[in-house]
Amino acid sequence: MIRFDSVSKRYPGGREALSNLSFRVETGEMAFVTGHSGAGKTTLLKLIALIERPTGGAIEVGGQNLARVKRGGVARLRRGIGMVFQDHRLLMDRSVADNVALPLVIAGMPREERARRVRAALDKVGLGGRGGDAPAALSAGEQQRVGIARAIAGRPALIIADEPTGNLDPQLAEEIMRLFVGLREAGTTILIASHDLPLLKRMKQRAIVLDHGRLIDDVPASEVA
Protein backbone atom coordinates (compact mmCIF):
# COMPACT_ATOMS: atom_id res chain seq x y z
CA MET A 1 0.00 0.00 0.00
CA ILE A 2 2.82 2.40 0.92
CA ARG A 3 6.32 2.23 -0.46
CA PHE A 4 9.19 4.63 0.26
CA ASP A 5 12.26 4.35 -1.94
CA SER A 6 15.32 6.30 -0.74
CA VAL A 7 13.10 9.22 0.15
CA SER A 8 14.65 12.48 1.33
CA LYS A 9 12.98 15.69 2.37
CA ARG A 10 14.69 18.96 2.95
CA TYR A 11 12.49 21.94 3.83
CA PRO A 12 13.44 25.15 2.07
CA GLY A 13 16.16 26.77 4.16
CA GLY A 14 16.16 23.96 6.67
CA ARG A 15 18.22 20.89 7.28
CA GLU A 16 17.22 17.47 6.04
CA ALA A 17 14.04 16.30 7.84
CA LEU A 18 14.16 12.84 6.24
CA SER A 19 17.18 11.17 4.65
CA ASN A 20 17.31 8.22 2.37
CA LEU A 21 14.28 6.55 3.86
CA SER A 22 13.10 3.19 2.48
CA PHE A 23 10.31 0.96 3.79
CA ARG A 24 7.04 -0.67 2.78
CA VAL A 25 3.69 -1.01 4.49
CA GLU A 26 1.53 -3.75 2.99
CA THR A 27 -2.22 -3.43 2.40
CA GLY A 28 -4.09 -4.29 5.59
CA GLU A 29 -1.01 -3.79 7.73
CA MET A 30 -0.78 -1.58 10.79
CA ALA A 31 2.46 0.19 11.67
CA PHE A 32 3.69 2.84 14.05
CA VAL A 33 6.18 5.52 13.15
CA THR A 34 8.09 6.53 16.22
CA GLY A 35 11.11 8.59 17.26
CA HIS A 36 12.07 11.64 19.26
CA SER A 37 10.46 15.02 18.69
CA GLY A 38 11.73 16.43 15.43
CA ALA A 39 12.69 12.99 14.12
CA GLY A 40 10.53 13.47 11.02
CA LYS A 41 7.32 11.57 11.85
CA THR A 42 4.94 14.32 10.76
CA THR A 43 7.02 14.97 7.67
CA LEU A 44 6.76 11.32 6.68
CA LEU A 45 2.96 11.34 6.96
CA LYS A 46 2.74 14.64 5.06
CA LEU A 47 4.64 13.12 2.16
CA ILE A 48 2.08 10.31 1.93
CA ALA A 49 -0.84 12.73 1.71
CA LEU A 50 1.09 15.03 -0.65
CA ILE A 51 0.95 17.88 1.83
CA GLU A 52 4.68 18.03 1.12
CA ARG A 53 6.66 16.71 -1.82
CA PRO A 54 9.91 14.78 -1.32
CA THR A 55 13.15 16.37 -2.47
CA GLY A 56 14.58 12.96 -3.35
CA GLY A 57 13.52 9.37 -3.93
CA ALA A 58 10.13 7.94 -4.87
CA ILE A 59 6.91 7.27 -2.99
CA GLU A 60 4.15 4.94 -4.05
CA VAL A 61 0.72 4.94 -2.41
CA GLY A 62 -1.95 2.45 -3.49
CA GLY A 63 0.18 1.53 -6.49
CA GLN A 64 0.38 5.12 -7.61
CA ASN A 65 3.69 6.94 -8.02
CA LEU A 66 3.14 10.21 -6.17
CA ALA A 67 5.59 12.07 -8.38
CA ARG A 68 3.08 11.64 -11.20
CA VAL A 69 0.13 12.98 -9.23
CA LYS A 70 -0.66 16.42 -10.55
CA ARG A 71 -2.76 19.16 -8.99
CA GLY A 72 -6.17 17.65 -9.64
CA GLY A 73 -4.99 14.25 -8.51
CA VAL A 74 -3.91 15.45 -5.08
CA ALA A 75 -7.51 15.92 -3.96
CA ARG A 76 -8.44 12.49 -5.32
CA LEU A 77 -5.53 10.89 -3.48
CA ARG A 78 -6.49 12.57 -0.21
CA ARG A 79 -10.10 11.48 -0.56
CA GLY A 80 -8.86 7.91 -0.32
CA ILE A 81 -6.89 8.64 2.86
CA GLY A 82 -8.28 9.28 6.32
CA MET A 83 -5.87 11.62 8.04
CA VAL A 84 -5.66 12.57 11.71
CA PHE A 85 -3.65 15.72 12.27
CA GLN A 86 -1.36 16.44 15.18
CA ASP A 87 -3.03 19.84 15.59
CA HIS A 88 -6.55 18.43 14.97
CA ARG A 89 -7.36 20.86 12.16
CA LEU A 90 -11.03 21.24 13.06
CA LEU A 91 -13.31 23.96 11.73
CA MET A 92 -13.97 25.88 14.91
CA ASP A 93 -17.07 27.64 13.58
CA ARG A 94 -18.86 24.43 12.62
CA SER A 95 -20.50 21.84 14.79
CA VAL A 96 -18.72 18.63 15.70
CA ALA A 97 -21.05 16.70 13.39
CA ASP A 98 -20.35 19.08 10.50
CA ASN A 99 -16.63 18.57 11.01
CA VAL A 100 -16.95 14.83 10.88
CA ALA A 101 -19.26 15.07 7.86
CA LEU A 102 -16.85 17.16 5.79
CA PRO A 103 -15.12 14.31 3.91
CA LEU A 104 -18.53 12.74 3.28
CA VAL A 105 -19.88 16.00 1.86
CA ILE A 106 -16.85 16.21 -0.37
CA ALA A 107 -17.53 12.67 -1.55
CA GLY A 108 -21.11 13.71 -2.40
CA MET A 109 -22.71 11.19 -0.05
CA PRO A 110 -26.51 11.32 0.40
CA ARG A 111 -27.65 13.18 3.48
CA GLU A 112 -29.21 10.33 5.41
CA GLU A 113 -26.22 8.08 4.94
CA ARG A 114 -23.96 10.93 5.91
CA ALA A 115 -25.88 11.46 9.15
CA ARG A 116 -25.75 7.74 9.89
CA ARG A 117 -22.00 7.50 9.32
CA VAL A 118 -21.30 10.62 11.36
CA ARG A 119 -23.25 9.21 14.28
CA ALA A 120 -21.48 5.87 14.02
CA ALA A 121 -18.03 7.50 13.87
CA LEU A 122 -18.74 9.73 16.88
CA ASP A 123 -20.03 6.72 18.82
CA LYS A 124 -16.83 4.85 18.07
CA VAL A 125 -14.64 7.57 19.55
CA GLY A 126 -16.90 7.94 22.57
CA LEU A 127 -18.48 11.25 21.52
CA GLY A 128 -21.99 10.04 20.74
CA GLY A 129 -24.44 12.83 21.52
CA ARG A 130 -21.84 15.62 21.17
CA GLY A 131 -22.50 16.14 17.46
CA GLY A 132 -24.31 19.43 17.98
CA ASP A 133 -21.55 20.98 20.10
CA ALA A 134 -19.00 23.48 18.89
CA PRO A 135 -15.43 22.13 18.92
CA ALA A 136 -14.44 25.04 21.16
CA ALA A 137 -16.71 23.58 23.84
CA LEU A 138 -14.69 20.36 23.82
CA SER A 139 -11.54 19.45 25.72
CA ALA A 140 -8.30 18.95 23.79
CA GLY A 141 -8.70 15.20 24.01
CA GLU A 142 -12.29 15.40 22.80
CA GLN A 143 -11.25 17.60 19.90
CA GLN A 144 -8.60 15.06 19.02
CA ARG A 145 -11.26 12.37 18.93
CA VAL A 146 -13.41 14.50 16.62
CA GLY A 147 -10.42 14.54 14.27
CA ILE A 148 -10.23 10.75 14.52
CA ALA A 149 -13.97 10.41 13.85
CA ARG A 150 -13.56 12.57 10.74
CA ALA A 151 -10.72 10.37 9.51
CA ILE A 152 -12.65 7.12 9.90
CA ALA A 153 -16.14 8.30 8.88
CA GLY A 154 -15.48 7.85 5.17
CA ARG A 155 -14.16 4.30 5.69
CA PRO A 156 -10.97 5.01 3.76
CA ALA A 157 -8.66 2.23 2.66
CA LEU A 158 -5.72 4.00 4.31
CA ILE A 159 -5.58 5.88 7.57
CA ILE A 160 -2.58 7.97 8.59
CA ALA A 161 -2.73 9.38 12.09
CA ASP A 162 -0.32 11.89 13.60
CA GLU A 163 -0.11 11.53 17.40
CA PRO A 164 -3.80 10.60 17.62
CA THR A 165 -3.57 9.92 21.33
CA GLY A 166 -1.31 12.82 22.28
CA ASN A 167 -3.95 14.48 24.46
CA LEU A 168 -5.62 11.37 25.82
CA ASP A 169 -5.17 9.66 29.16
CA PRO A 170 -3.59 6.18 28.99
CA GLN A 171 -6.88 4.32 29.21
CA LEU A 172 -8.61 6.37 26.51
CA ALA A 173 -5.46 6.21 24.40
CA GLU A 174 -5.54 2.46 24.50
CA GLU A 175 -9.25 2.43 23.60
CA ILE A 176 -8.55 4.57 20.55
CA MET A 177 -5.66 2.29 19.58
CA ARG A 178 -7.99 -0.71 19.90
CA LEU A 179 -10.37 1.12 17.56
CA PHE A 180 -7.56 1.36 14.99
CA VAL A 181 -6.72 -2.30 15.50
CA GLY A 182 -10.38 -3.13 14.84
CA LEU A 183 -10.29 -1.14 11.60
CA ARG A 184 -7.12 -2.93 10.55
CA GLU A 185 -8.82 -6.25 11.15
CA ALA A 186 -11.53 -5.06 8.76
CA GLY A 187 -8.84 -4.55 6.10
CA THR A 188 -7.76 -0.95 6.51
CA THR A 189 -4.08 -0.04 6.19
CA ILE A 190 -3.02 2.10 9.13
CA LEU A 191 0.08 4.17 9.81
CA ILE A 192 0.29 5.97 13.15
CA ALA A 193 2.94 8.43 14.29
CA SER A 194 3.45 8.28 18.03
CA HIS A 195 6.21 8.76 20.56
CA ASP A 196 4.27 7.04 23.33
CA LEU A 197 6.60 4.06 23.74
CA PRO A 198 4.76 2.31 26.59
CA LEU A 199 1.57 2.43 24.54
CA LEU A 200 3.39 1.04 21.48
CA LYS A 201 4.73 -1.82 23.52
CA ARG A 202 1.26 -2.69 24.75
CA MET A 203 -0.19 -2.58 21.24
CA LYS A 204 2.31 -5.08 19.85
CA GLN A 205 2.40 -3.67 16.33
CA ARG A 206 5.22 -3.06 13.89
CA ALA A 207 7.30 0.03 14.73
CA ILE A 208 9.29 2.09 12.25
CA VAL A 209 11.82 4.01 14.30
CA LEU A 210 13.24 7.34 13.09
CA ASP A 211 16.15 9.29 14.42
CA HIS A 212 17.00 12.66 12.92
CA GLY A 213 15.24 11.72 9.73
CA ARG A 214 16.95 8.35 9.35
CA LEU A 215 15.38 4.94 9.72
CA ILE A 216 17.28 3.33 12.57
CA ASP A 217 15.03 0.38 13.28
CA ASP A 218 12.01 -1.47 11.84
CA VAL A 219 10.64 -3.79 14.48
CA PRO A 220 8.09 -6.38 13.26
CA ALA A 221 4.98 -6.88 15.41
CA SER A 222 6.19 -10.31 16.55
CA GLU A 223 9.35 -8.82 18.06
CA VAL A 224 7.75 -5.94 19.98
CA ALA A 225 8.26 -6.81 23.58
Partner 1 sequence: MNARAATTAPRGRPRLAAWRRQHAWCLRDSLHQLARRPFGTALTIVVMGLALSLPLAFYLLLANVQHLSGALGESQSVSVFLKPSITMDTAESLAQDLRARADVAEVTIRTPRQGLAELAAVQGFGEALHALPANPLPYVLLVQPRKGLDRAQAGAMVQALRALPQVDLVQDDGQWRARLDALIALGRRATLLLAVLLGAAAVLVIGNTVRLDIRTRADEIAVQQLVGASASFVRRPYLYEGVWYGLAAGIVAVLLVLLLEAVLAAPVRELVASYAGRLQFGGLPSTALLLTPLCAAALGWLGAWLASTRHLLRPSP
Ligand X SMILES: Nc1ncnc2c1ncn2[C@@H]1O[C@H](COP(=O)(O)OP(=O)(O)OP(=O)(O)O)[C@@H](O)[C@H]1O
Q: Which of 8/95 has CB closer to ligand X?
A: 8
Please report whether residue 42 would count as binding Mg ion according to CB under 5 A. yes
The sheet with strand 206-211 has its strands ordered as 81-84, 158-162, 189-193, 30-35, 206-211, 214-219
In the complex, minimum distance from the CB of residue 224 to partner 1, in angstroms, rounded to a whole number: 26
Interface segment toward ligand X; rule CB under 6 A; list 41-49, 58-66, 141-149, 168-176: 41-49
Pick between residue 34 and residue 43 the one whose CB is nearest to partner 1: 43
Identify whether the C-beta of residue 209 lies closer than 8 Å to the C-beta of residue 34.
yes
Q: Give the residue with the Cβ less far from ligand X, 74 or 115.
A: 74
Residue 128 within binding range of ligand X, rule CB under 6 A: no
Contact region with Mg ion (CB under 5 A), list: 37-45, 49-57, 182-190, 216-224? 37-45
Stretch near ligand X under the rule CB under 6 A, chosen from 35-43, 58-66, 121-129, 152-160:
35-43
Q: How far is the CB of 72 from partner 1 (least distance, A)?
A: 7
Is residue 40 involved in binding ligand X (CB under 6 A)?
A: yes
CB of 76 to partner 1, least distance (A): 7
The binder of 14, among partner 1, ligand X, Mg ion, none, by C-beta within 5 to 8 A per type, is ligand X
Contact window for ligand X (CB under 6 A) among 11-19, 65-73, 76-84, 174-182? 11-19
Q: Are 154 and 104 in contact (CB under 8 A)?
A: yes
- DSSP of the chain, one letter per residue? -EEEEEEEEE-TTS-EEEEEEEEEE-TT-EEEEEESTTSSHHHHHHHHTTSS--SEEEEEETTEEGGG--HHHHHHHHHTEEEE-TT----TTS-HHHHHHHHHHHTT--HHHHHHHHHHHHHHTT-TT-TTS-GGGS-HHHHHHHHHHHHHHT--SEEEEESTTTTS-HHHHHHHHHHHHHHHHTT-EEEEE---HHHHHHHT-EEEEEETTEEEEEE-GGG--
Query: Using the rule CB under 6 A, which residue among 1, 2, 7, 39 binds ligand X?
Result: 39
Residues that bind partner 1 (CB under 8 A): 27, 49-53, 61-64, 71-72, 74-81, 83, 85, 89-91, 93, 102-111, 150, 154-158, 187
Looking at residues 79 to 98 of the shown chain, list those that interact with Mg ion (rule: CB under 5 A).
Answer: 86
